[in-house]
Structure 1
């Protein structure tokens, strides 16, 4: 296995760097999440973060069932793939690395990408009765909140517009992305999904604006994407968009185009979600090239025998 392993936040940070480096999006064009081993919480990017500048403090832990922000450290075992103390997310247990395999913070990854050195996480507020912070729940007394670019159209939504704690007037907390509802609704609808990559890829959105469907041109497109569903435009960050997107995935669809907004790509691992996002944009680019050449109508479907093999559960291309 040559994909980045260990802490889920490191994996998501790698996705963020790669999608910007390869031109899928500009730096702030999307948000990322991964479900934790407990099944009912996830790491999600904080509001206002840049995808190519993510590190562990760039993520917020949110409970999937009720949307509350969790501020206590997860009670999982140490990450066996990192040395020098306990991990704060502890992904699924894996065999320890052999000598020479430990990745140092700031070191180059196999493809040449260098993740930023980890900075020490800032102190998080403790909360009476189980350190957590409820998102979007009215309260008589609120504490100071670090707000990171919550769009005006989200302010009135029942969602992550505020963080409530019982830690006193000097406490502060980081908000998740304003599109956290999209991630949570999908995790609730799809228990098999462990990672969601939501991006604003340029060619995907251009084709949507032109009213053109993305074609699956190569066997890789067929294998990783299989089918692409389109969700009609709703305001970003709203519960309406989140529920429409979640409903569109209930039949097993893993790739959505959110009209005039972006894509939502799902998988059982961060690595597979990353591959699907890359293949979705590549399929869009090839579709656009055929359109620009005036040959889109001549672009055939993938061979029926190959699609039948996929439907039968083929696991390789």
Structure 2
């Protein structure tokens, strides 16, 4: 109940607020997603890389996160081939299963479960997931709009990818940004996650439930919440890492689909109704799956 009350309930209430708001006002969601992707996310990414130091744990984070994502993509491609998914539907599936909600959901849970040591391992995972989302995630979301060339162009157009290196350099060389500038950065960055979650709730308000392929949604949720942590667990058994780091990697791999996936699905027309439904349903199912997993690992 503590996990539900402290982490899940606030998330669900924000989703619900966006849902109700859209039902009443019926706004243009794509305009909001453009603001979130091209204005808000760069500030959040800069804040994250500027504040969070990179340490030796980052090597294992890069290795495990990359291999887990690769395994999920290969699995998704196989499933898409077997069930004859059209290209946009396959991209939507890959977007939904490949990228976990490690930021506003994963970090609080590992902090709750493992304390400061959980944060020590959880923050680098969240940082690298941001990099993967801004590169591989954008590539997958834009794949159906003209192939590799178009996808690479869209990656290069993402402003969040241009703030990572400057933020890391400022962090590593302990260069302090003047307080007035940092206040502005923090104000914008701190609004990003709530706004993204509101946009997800708004997108869900436009989903025609009768047209949803619930078999496909349930399959994606199973891959995201069950298969992903299993891949992470067996992969971690092969690496010389301690028990807490292994548990954190597995927990972060078991997170529901990232809210950012809905942003990219809306922006690049990658079946946003399907993606947003998977994000919501996987978040709801994760109450059960994460509770079981935490009991096994702690």
Quick check: which one's strand share is greater? 1
Structure with greater helix percent:
2
TM category, shorter: under 0.3
Q: TM-score with structure 1 length normalisation?
A: 0.24
Structure number with higher relative contact order (C-alpha < 8 Å, ≥ 6 residues apart): 2
